[in-house]
Amino acid sequence: MQLTFREKIFSLKRVGANHLQICLLGIRIKLRSPDLSFLPYCRFPIESKKIFFTNVLSGYGCNPRYVLEEMLRRKEGWDIVWMVDKYVLDYLHDIPSGVRLVMWGTEEALKECVTAHIWISNGWQLRFRRLGIHKRKGQTYIQLWHGSLGLKKLDWEKAHPGRLNQHHLRQELREIDYLITNSSWEDERFKEAFGPLPTILRFGHPRNDIFFKQVGEKLRCKVYERLNISIEKKTILYAPTYREDGSQSVPTMEQIAQLRHALTKRFGGEWLMLARWHPAHQEWKRYDFLPDAPEVINVGNYPNMQELLIAADAVLTDYSSCILDYLFTKRPGFLYAPDFRRYSKMRGCYYPLDEAPFPPAITWEKLLDSVLCYDPAAHSERIDLFLKKMGCVDDGKASARIVDLVEDLVKRKEEPHESTHF
């Protein structure tokens, strides 16, 4: 399309639903603009019993899942809405009845979001911010987060580079009403990472409630059946963390064979590896980061990480906080971080790896040695000391505490602070 002379000097027009095009001296610049299609819904009243859930990384799981299920158990008649996206389409049957599902990107999802009394999420809502959506006066935002007790730093500026992203995140921080933690250590780390915060509630992490319930064998059978694994086999869950530059140091098939041999020698049985790429990585990497082999089962699309942790006989990671959930099982856990020096410069850890309650290894030989020399009594003692040092309050009742808060908010229709509104 030819531009007129005037348009070549300067013009501004909308291109599609979410972009503006600026033309200055013949140079065209395309910018993202807010989609204001949700604004008409702001005329609708906020519904006091409507609870709007999102899970930013892994479909139907993590902390929001266990809060939702506690709500359903109480049968309070709340209108519970869960926003789904393409990552959960394969396992919608896991979401219990009594929950209304809305698809991300639809007008229905926008309406539910802006009319819900309470938002519950476990991470940033950047995609809503990019559409120009903010919390209305009278809404309450409960942030559950998705990590636990370190290891990697909460460096949100590196994790979400760009001036516009950081503007959105600062705006979101001002809108959070309650931030849930599981320890005095986490309280301080959130203050350091995010600056002045709203009310911090040390309630525990809901997803860890599962480790305090007598459901281990039942869930193990469920996971093994779903993955078509013989119940006699033993499994080590390999779950490396996300790196902003997309890099990864993964073991070779030869190294995996060495690890399986070491596990058999130390613990007995025949071992398989369950491999799970971090859900923040690109989709094709999540399902294809290790070669296909009978002894390596890719569980990147398994909907619930906590069930995998319950089922696994051991866990191997580099810096993922999943192993700091797994510690409640008191089962073997190992850290393999061959790129520790590089990662320390790129993202960094809150404490040296040898202060974590798991044996760290920078070389593969050291990892194999840690497996062969594993001492369950020393491991259990290290976990107890670590949890005490961190001031951890996880006890299996986090979901109940959060739902108690929701009950109180619904009854009082509380407005915790003057929020951004339309």
pLDDT, residue 417, reads 43
pLDDT, residue 416, reads 47
Convert the pLDDT of each residue in 197-219 to its tens digit.
778 999 999 999 999 998 888 99
Residues in the chain predicted with pLDDT less than 50, given as ranges, are 16-17, 284, 286-287, 414, 416-422
Locate the domains of the chain by residue range: 5-33, 41-208+396-412, 215-390
pLDDT, residue 76, reads 92
pLDDT, residue 284, reads 45
pLDDT, residue 422, reads 32
pLDDT, residue 18, reads 53
CATH superfamily of 215-390: CDP-glycerol glycerophosphotransferase, C-terminal domain (3.40.50.12580)
CATH superfamily of 41-208+396-412: CDP-glycerol glycerophosphotransferase, N-terminal domain (3.40.50.11820)
Residues 6+ apart with CB under 8 A from 266: 371, 372, 374
Do the first three CATH levels of 41-208+396-412 and 215-390 match, i.e. the same topology? yes
